[in-house]
Copies of this chain bind each other. A is one copy, B any other.
Amino acid sequence: MTTAVTEVRSWLLALQQRIASSIEAEDGSGCFLTDAWTKPPGEKLQGEGVSKLLEGGAVFERAGVGFSHVRGPSLPPSATQHRPELAGAPFEAMGVSLVFHPRNPYVPTVHMNVRMLAAHKPGMETVTWFGGGMDLTPYYGFEEDAAHFHRTCRDALSAFGDQYHPRFKRWCDEYFFLKHRNEPRGVGGIFFDDLSELGFEGGFAMIRAVGDGLLAAYLPIVQRRKAMPYGERERDFQTYRRGRYVEFNLVWDRGTLFGLQSGGRTESILMSMPPVVTWRYDWKPEPGTPEARLYTDFLRPRDWLVA
């Protein structure tokens, strides 16, 4: 491994550990199970990872945070459209991905991912790209929660210039969209991919800003909502809405589909699945209810910084 790759890997593993510890502390009851895995030799992609999963906690019904690091002999054509000179180069990809599904329907689900792709063409310097983001999926919307999450995303990116937040906010709205429902997955956040314009140092700093911002963006919301009383009605709505999460991840999410279809480690990829999910035919909330307000007031692209 090059020094750069080693440095990113160490930071990712530390990030995973740090987030898992904070989530355990916030939960107060559940513990993360740690599962280190290695892909069997002989497969096309080589690699290993560490999956951390907390199931059945007091606050988190299912919370997964995974690290993976895979190596391949040759970049796929889809990855080199803008850099044809790198076609066929050996590569490695690493990242941390997380999805936390809380038990209380008033606490939103959160997703975060940071990743790096490095191409090692003989005779060339290693080329790196970065990607990442975080987004929030409430069941019951609260303007102050959405505004806080988006402000924290903006602040995380502000050191890189004012142009990044609006661009990555829009990208997030476009990416986390269920076309078959004509519905956003949640209230958005930030998303970016294939970032090379800042070089290795700038790109690495960018994913550090995102990864380091997750707890500040999410924990205050958890703390505000986790003790709110709820009943069967709210729980039913939560498990129903979780169906949308499943539909997005299995039908549209490129990372999930690529992973499942290319021989990735299924149990690690599907740590994003919610613990309990329901489907009901053509269900719609009564107008004027809190459930209806999720659709009318939250599941539409909004400028949350002025909310």
Contacts and interface: CB of A to CB of B under 8 A. Distances in A.
A260 B266 contact: no
Interface string A188-212: 0000000000000000000000000
A233 interface: no
A273 B266 contact: no
A281 interface: yes
A88 interface: no
Interface residues of A, number: 36
A131 interface: no
A20 to B, nearest CB: 14
Interface in A41-99: 51, 53, 55, 62, 64
A99 to B, nearest CB: 11
A275 interface: yes
Contacts of A277: 246, 276-279
Contacts of A181: 266
A263 B264 CA distance: 29
A280 B180 contact: no
B279 A278 contact: no
Nearest to A271: B281
A281 B243 contact: no
Contacts of A243: 273
Contacts of A251: 250, 257, 260-261
A280 B276 contact: no
A61 to B, nearest CB: 10
A108 interface: no
A270 interface: yes
A47 to B, nearest CB: 16
